[in-house]
């Protein structure tokens, strides 16, 4: 057997992927990120400087070479209205513009000897969702003789990928026999043969040079020689010479990985947890001390103990999480409280009077742990949702907490730590949560959604409750006055009664009385002693009591489209922190741009987070002057650069790997893990962990681990990767082709977006530019273009910037130089053009009788798109609803509710046209269009569209992913997000069967590669045909309203 020795050929200092040697062995093509975007590069196989070939600013993957080594083949979603539409391209290794191949949606490509070609549609890495059987399973199309007539190669009950034409057979990966292995068949689809027999790991990433096939499985490389008289699979022994720089120790900034923080009971020191490690330090003086093991263990929810002499934390030392008690004295070993079934801790608070902690977990439980006896007990458990915050009483004998009673009701409850009895404090009518005790034991403050003050919508006849929240308090003693009612008092003095009370307290107190007095609670009619704060209804984040004061955060309302993708905290809203002073009866701002805050045990000092910074200050109104940024005692800002965090990647990956496995075990929607032996899965993939040498390899391992669950929504994303440069491509929202006659680039198409929105329209449509399709682009930024210098190449690192463009008008021998501002992303305008083109087609072919709208996802963007068109299109006789490529979300039920409106009447006036009742109800039929790239809530919409009998559904079977995920997700120590499929959707007609299957259309319509090449959309055409047929069979018309009856006039009856 031949020995392979791979020596490093450093063609790129950053991440590279998808390498392919040319058939003649002279060149190496790959995807590089040297300048930010994933682009096609080429270099000599002997080494040398790599050359960037593409300038697309999109997701791009090299898939091979042409047989003559003359072209590099790649797939990309450039210039597409949807990120999941990949087309195939070829580009010369010498450079120039890439050429799109006319076969539409495809991910793989392989040529045969006789000019034939096979392409893979929806062919991805099938190991990331093992045993997948939904609508997006890979399909192999074949054009046997290269004449452009494609048909499906074969139909197997599994997921197919990586088609390769080698010799007289088509080879591919399939898992139709439960494990992904290498198979082949004849070009007519017959004589299916199995060539590999892996049982533990899937065959992945198979590629060929036209003679042999190389693939990997379980972190090992294998070679299969199909042209050998006796084909066998051989393991390739690889000696990998690499410095493995991504496994070497490094240091990271504390601020970038800040997880939690906690003030010392006396307020002079701060405890922070960042990158899974906990540290404490004097706020502005002294050294920084790390708590616990230096590496390989994650610490969470770390808090100071009440005496300030130690800490309590959640530690996963040994692979499982448990409470640990650490002393400030490094000579004292930590105490690990093993054997306690605490679940995944979400929040933890230390008792103010005893060595006890309360915590809430992912099982919706409230638990208290006695750190002295090392015993735990469950105080309460909801069957609906997590505990909605909790707070210790000043005497440490009670816990107040938010408790979910049902899907729409949460109450404030109180639990006695003495006997375990629980009391409901608020009526089960609203959503009450986030309780906080008043330090004097008079009140419990909490937040409540109980303000029903509707606001009329500006665009639709609708009302909503965009705020709905108010901070409230509960008076624990029936004779306590409301703190919001002012008491008469002399100038510069306390109220007489308060003065007398203080005098009496001082008279009765003894020097030795330092203990907190027992809390007095009058439970009779306590729910009637709820008082709302005299502040406007709004959106509040926290409310915490001080002595005679209250701190609360208030958020402004932002549009949902401004809140980012929802996966990270980068776009989280920031609040204003207010101080309400009961004695002064006024409200002041303490700080702005606050994410969250905590109060010291002295109830006077606070610490708050502002993005990635922490500040310690008194709970007092902010001064009028500008707050300086310098981290010193005067400003209150903490210098987090003092905290030096070292990372040993391989130890961190081991911890993260175990945590990912554990999170699935704790959160997966069924306890039996869908019949998978999850412990065995852990052991199988743990063997591969020591071979991981980079963060991207670790990510790949996690995807394959979670893929064993065989369910949707098991993701891993983000993490601590080496950053690529941000040289974003400036886009012009136009398509060009090279004109060899003029050695310039002719404008083939200018994308038409929303002219009123510069971020959603082509810069070439800017007022006064007058650029037309057919004009020639000669110069960009004063630089002459040519065959080897494309416009895109000169627009690298020019996103969102003004650039000069010089054109030659096609009808005149004149030049025009204009200045435009480029785009960073042109998907919005390309999507708008796609929708408007479909809308125009429907109007033209139906005589403007049928409306059309598209829903791109079931999130905020899809909700906006639906309502942009619905009010207009529902006025037509019929409606086509298109959910192809729908990316999912959670608003399907809101949209289906509107589509399900039945027109049962009209409001008729003398002068105007009759208006339907209910408003925005359709008079005629509906038809839906879906496809295999509609998933998640797009699956649900498609299925329920049929289930509710709203109309016929046309297209292809949907994705089939309806085991959903909850928020918040659980970030790993390096910031990556992993999701756990936590709940599955059940439907009355098919039960659980939408998951891993999808929903079938009533009428299946395929879009073939030749349809794509000819620009046809047979799915839309079939929808138009069907809806016109329905209109013909059941013509739509308004009632005549001819029998209008005047209001009767009552005649006067004479006596």
CA-only gyration radius of the chain, Å: 33
**Range 559-568, long-range pairs (CB < 8 A, 24+ positions):** 559/860, 560/859, 560/860, 560/863, 561/860, 561/861, 561/864, 563/860, 566/859, 566/967, 567/717, 567/718, 567/969, 567/977, 568/718, 568/977
CA 252 to chain centroid, in Å, comes to 24
Sheet bearing 169-174, strands edge to edge: 160-166, 169-174, 181-185, 193-194
Known catalytic membership, residue 713: yes
Which is nearest to 899 in space by CA: 916, 876, 882, 874? Answer: 874
Q: What is the spatial order of strands in the sheet that 87-91 belongs to?
A: 60-65, 72-76, 87-91, 99-100
∠ CA 166-195-31, nearest 5°, is 55
**Rounded distance, CA 612 to CA 591, Å?**
15
Burial class (CB in 10 A: 0-12, 13-18, 19+), 413: buried
User: Is-catalytic flag, 995?
Assistant: yes
Of the candidates 694, 936, 942, 976, the residue annotated as catalytic is 936
Angle, helix 827-846 to helix 860-873, in steps of 10 degrees: 30
- Could you count the other beta carbons within 10 Å of the beta carbon of residue 756? 7
**Listed residue (716, 750, 745) closest to 731, CA to CA:** 750
CA distances from 513 to 157, 394, 520 (A): 78, 15, 18
* Bridge partner list, 922: 902
User: Is 660 in contact with 977 (CB distance < 8 Å)?
Assistant: no
H or E stretch covering 586 = strand 586-594
Catalytic residue among 365, 865, 877, 995: 995
DSSP secondary structure, 259-282, as one string: EEEEE-TTSSEEEEEETTEEEEEE
Q: How far apart are CA 883 and CA 895, in angstroms?
A: 12
Q: Using an 8 Å Cβ cutoff, are 810 and 992 in contact?
A: no
Helix axes 649-667, 695-707, angle to 10 degrees: 20
- Cis bond before residue 925 (omega within 30° of 0): no
Secondary structure letter of residue 123 according to DSSP: -
Peptide bond into 764 cis (omega under 30): no
Tokens describing residue 380: 């309460």
The one-character DSSP state at 622 is P
Q: Are 545 and 438 in contact (CB under 8 A)?
A: yes
The token duo for 868 is 């942009």
- State the CB neighbour count (10 A cutoff) for residue 995: 26
> Which candidate in 37, 108, 667, 713 is catalytic?
713
Pick from 586, 589, 680: nearest CA to 627: 589
Tell me which residues are annotated as active site.
713, 936, 995
């Amino acid at each position: 057997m031949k020995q392979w020795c791979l020596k490093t050929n450093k063609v790129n200092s950053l991440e590279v992927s998808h390498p392919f040697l040319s058939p003649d062995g002279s060149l190496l093509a790959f995807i590089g990120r040297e300048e930010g975007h994933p682009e096609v590069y080429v270099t000599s196989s002997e080494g040398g400087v790599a050359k960037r070939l593409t300038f697309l600013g999109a997701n791009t993957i090299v898939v091979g070479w042409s047989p003559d080594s003359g072209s590099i083949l790649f797939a990309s979603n450039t210039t597409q209205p949807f990120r999941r539409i990949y087309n195939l391209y070829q580009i010369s290794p010498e450079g120039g513009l890439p050429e799109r191949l006319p076969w539409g949606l495809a991910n793989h490509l392989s040529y045969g000897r006789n000019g034939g070609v096979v392409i893979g549609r929806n062919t991805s890495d099938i190991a990331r969702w093992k045993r997948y059987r939904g609508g997006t399973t890979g399909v192999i199309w074949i054009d046997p003789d290269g004449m452009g007539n494609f048909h499906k190669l074969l139909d197997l009950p599994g997921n197919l990928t990586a088609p390769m034409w080698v010799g007289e057979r088509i080879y591919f990966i399939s898992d139709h026999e439960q494990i992904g292995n290498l198979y082949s068949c004849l070009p007519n689809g017959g004589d299916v043969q199995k060539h590999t027999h892996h049982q533990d790991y899937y065959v992945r990433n198979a590629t060929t040079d036209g003679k042999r096939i190389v693939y990997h499985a379980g972190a090992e490389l294998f070679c299969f020689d199909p042209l050998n008289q006796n084909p066998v699979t051989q393991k390739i022994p690889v000696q990998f010479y690499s410095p493995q720089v991504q496994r070497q120790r490094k240091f990271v900034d504390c601020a970038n990985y800040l997880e939690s923080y906690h003030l010392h009971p006396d307020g002079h020191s701060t405890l922070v947890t960042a990158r899974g490690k906990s540290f404490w330090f004097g706020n502005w003086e002294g050294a920084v001390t790390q708590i616990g093991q230096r590496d390989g263990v994650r610490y969470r929810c770390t808090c100071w103990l009440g005496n300030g002499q130690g800490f309590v934390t959640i530690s996963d030392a040994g692979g499982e999480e448990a409470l640990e008690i650490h002393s400030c004295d490094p000579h004292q070993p930590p105490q690990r409280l093993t054997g306690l079934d605490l679940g995944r801790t979400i929040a933890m608070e230390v008792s103010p009077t005893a060595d006890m902690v309360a915590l809430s977990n992912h099982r919706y439980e409230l638990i208290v742990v006695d750190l002295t006896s090392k015993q735990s007990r469950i105080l309460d458990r909801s069957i609906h949702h997590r505990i909605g915050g909790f707070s210790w009483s000043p005497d440490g004998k009670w816990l107040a907490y938010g408790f979910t009673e049902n899907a729409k009701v949460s109450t404030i409850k109180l639990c006695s730590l003495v006997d375990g009895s629980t009391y409901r404090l608020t009526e089960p009518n609203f959503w009450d949560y986030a309780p906080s005790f008043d330090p004097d034991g008079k009140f419990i403050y909490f937040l409540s959604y109980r303000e029903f003050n509707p606001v009329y919508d500006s665009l639709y006849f609708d009302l909503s409750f965009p705020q709905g929240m108010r901070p409230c308090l509960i008076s624990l003693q029936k004779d306590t006055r409301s703190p919001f009612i002012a008491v008469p008092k002399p100038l510069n003095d306390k109220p007489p009664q308060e003065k007398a009370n203080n005098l009496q307290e001082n008279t009765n107190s003894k020097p030795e009385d330092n203990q907190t007095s027992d809390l007095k609670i009058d439970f009779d009619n306590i729910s009637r002693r709820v008082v709302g704060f005299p502040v406007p209804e709004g959106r509040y984040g926290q409310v915490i009591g001080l002595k005679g004061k209250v701190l609360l955060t208030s958020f402004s309302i932002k549009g949902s489209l401004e809140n980012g993708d929802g996966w990270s905290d980068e776009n989280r809203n920031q609040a204003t922190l207010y101080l309400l002073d009961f004695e002064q009866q006024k409200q002041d701002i303490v700080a702005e741009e606050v994410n969250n805050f905590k109060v010291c045990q002295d109830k006077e000092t606070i610490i708050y987070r502002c993005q990635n910074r922490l500040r310690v200050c008194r709970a007092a109104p902010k001064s009028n002057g500008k707050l300086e940024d310098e981290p010193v005692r005067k400003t209150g800002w903490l210098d987090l650069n003092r905290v030096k965090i070292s990372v040993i990647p391989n130890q961190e990956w081991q911890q993260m790997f175990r945590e990912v496995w554990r999170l699935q075990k704790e959160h997966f929607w069924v306890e039996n893990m869908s019949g998978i032996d999850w412990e065995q899965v852990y052991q199988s993939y743990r063997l591969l962990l020591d071979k991981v040498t980079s963060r991207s390899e670790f990510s790949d391992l996690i995807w394959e681990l979670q893929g064993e669950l065989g369910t949707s929504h098991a993701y891993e994303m983000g993490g601590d990767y080496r950053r690529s440069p941000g040289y974003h491509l400036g886009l012009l929202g136009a398509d060009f082709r090279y004109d060899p006659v003029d050695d310039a680039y002719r404008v083939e198409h200018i994308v038409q977006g929303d002219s009123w929105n510069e971020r959603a329209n082509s810069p070439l449509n800017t007022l006064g530019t007058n650029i037309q399709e057919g004009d020639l682009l000669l110069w960009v930024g004063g630089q002459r273009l040519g065959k080897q210098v494309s416009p895109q190449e000169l627009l690298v690192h020019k996103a969102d910037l003004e650039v000069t463009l010089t054109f030659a008008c096609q009808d005149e021998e004149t030049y025009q130089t204009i200045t435009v501002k480029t785009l960073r992303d042109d998907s919005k305008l390309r999507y708008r053009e796609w929708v408007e083109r479909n809308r125009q087609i429907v109007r033209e072919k139906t005589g403007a009788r049928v409306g059309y709208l598209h829903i791109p996802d079931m999130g905020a963007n899809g909700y906006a798109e639906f309502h942009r068109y619905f009010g207009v299109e529902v006025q037509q006789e019929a409606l086509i609803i298109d959910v192809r490529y729908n990316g999912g979300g959670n608003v399907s039920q809101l949209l289906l509710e509107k589509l399900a409106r039945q027109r049962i009447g009209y409001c008729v006036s003398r002068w105007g046209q009759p208006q339907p009742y209910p408003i925005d109800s359709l008079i005629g039929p509906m038809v839906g269009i879906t496809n295999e790239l509609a998933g998640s809530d797009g699956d649900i919409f498609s299925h329920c569209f049929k289930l509710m009998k709203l109309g016929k559904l046309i297209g292809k079977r949907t994705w089939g992913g309806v085991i959903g995920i909850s928020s918040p997700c659980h970030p790993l120590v390096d910031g990556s997000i992993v999701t756990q499929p936590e709940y599955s959707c059940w439907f009355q007609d098919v039960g659980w069967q939408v998951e891993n299957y999808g929903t079938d259309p009533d009428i299946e319509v395929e879009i073939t590669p030749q349809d794509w090449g000819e620009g046809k959309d047979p799915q839309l055409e079939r929808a138009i045909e069907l809806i016109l047929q329905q209109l013909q069979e059941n013509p739509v018309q308004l009632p005549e309203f001819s029998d209008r009856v005047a209001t009767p006039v009552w005649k006067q009856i004479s006596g």
